[in-house]
A = this chain, B = another copy of it.
Amino acid sequence: MTSWKNNVRNVIPYTPGEQPKKKVIKLNTNENPYPPSPLVGKAISDVSMDSLRKYPDPNCSSLISAIAKYHGFDDENIFVGVGSDDVLAMSFLTFFNSDRPIFFPDITYSFYDVWADLFRIPYETKALDEDFKIVASDYASDCGGIVIPNPNAPTGVAEPVEFFEKIISAHPECVVIIDEAYVDFGSESCIDLVRKYDNVLVVRTFSKSRSMAGSRIGYAVGSKELIKYLSDCKFSFNSYTMDTVTLAAGVASLEDDEYFKARLADVINTREWTKGQLEKLGFSFPDSKSNFIFAKHSSIPASDIFEELKKRDIYVRYFSKPERISNYLRISIGTEEEMQQLINTLKEITN
């Protein structure tokens, strides 16, 4: 007799960056070192218990309106989800429905090929050049869709808006997704291209720049037509995803722009300081416009530095594959004090 085990979907689960339970300097998951605005805490405490017994607003109107207003769009240009992973997965499902392959970089966010496999979307990866830059001509031929993070991860390398506008305008046959998870840390946003092209979707998250990884909020900005397709697809199989408390927390974050921009400036300043220090210690890296630096040392293997840091309770991210990046460490930008301690420790290790 057949067992139910023969009919189970067998997968290789993704391994997220370690979330150690002891107190460490945690520079391994690109979290913001600063808490969100105090207004977020107030909004969370203010949610009434009576509202929890009811289903959340399935349209997430309050959060969608706040995001639309923040970026100067209409509500119909905005889609929200449970982190940008949810938004991106839903976008793959909705828009990448062609027989032709979709294109994305070979070194990039590790979930793109996972979602493509999940939804049986054919794909081709395009190799970054030796400076970890995206080669625009690789994205010229007709395809089923394109997804590129800007800045790219885990490299931190950004391209200007013109670079993406050429790709978007050349591809009316497909949707081009620009994944701007890290854009607030100093690179140009493609968000204004949404006003000009109906085939571009810009995806953002509250996890990094808004210090709210714990809340799971992501969103997309696109033409009204694009957003309607995306919403219809989402509503066709799950009506209620964003919970009531999270919706309130997201709105509050957008209300405190001064706090937001001050913390962004802190992270950017610390990143630039860290770059100088790392160079002095023999590290090289592509110029990062994100809240992490992707660095290799001139003589010591990345895996050794990773282990030595870990022994001293400093966690950074090390990807053993692919080969081409196996000598790099992805170091998230922490507070000034944390980065000072990182640099001091790296001095010991590299001496």
Which A residues lie at the B interface, using CB under 8 A? Answer: 1-14, 16, 19, 26, 29, 31-36, 38, 40-41, 44-45, 47-58, 82-83, 85-86, 89, 93-98, 111, 114-115, 118, 142, 144-145, 171-175, 199, 207, 211-216, 225, 229, 231-233, 235-246, 249
By the criterion CB–CB under 8 Å, are B97 and A7 in contact?
A: yes
Number of copies of chain A assembled together:
2
Extra 11 A-B pairs, beta carbons < 8 Å, given A4-B95, A12-B232, A13-B233: A1-B173, A5-B225, A7-B97, A31-B53, A32-B53, A44-B47, A215-B243, A215-B244, A243-B246, A245-B245, A246-B246
A175 contacts across to B, CB distance below 8 A: 4, 7
A19 contacts across to B, CB distance below 8 A: 54-55, 57-58
CA distance A34 to B52 in the complex (A): 10
CA distance A212 to B240 in the complex (A): 12
By the criterion CB–CB under 8 Å, are B237 and A245 in contact?
A: no
A16 contacts across to B, CB distance below 8 A: 55, 58, 239-240
A83 contacts across to B, CB distance below 8 A: 240-241
By the criterion CB–CB under 8 Å, are B2 and A173 in contact?
A: yes
By the criterion CB–CB under 8 Å, are A7 and B98 in contact?
A: yes
**Residue among A86, A144, A233, A245 with the most chain B CB within 10 A?**
A245
Interface residue from B38, B215, B241 paired with A216 (Cβ < 8 Å): B241
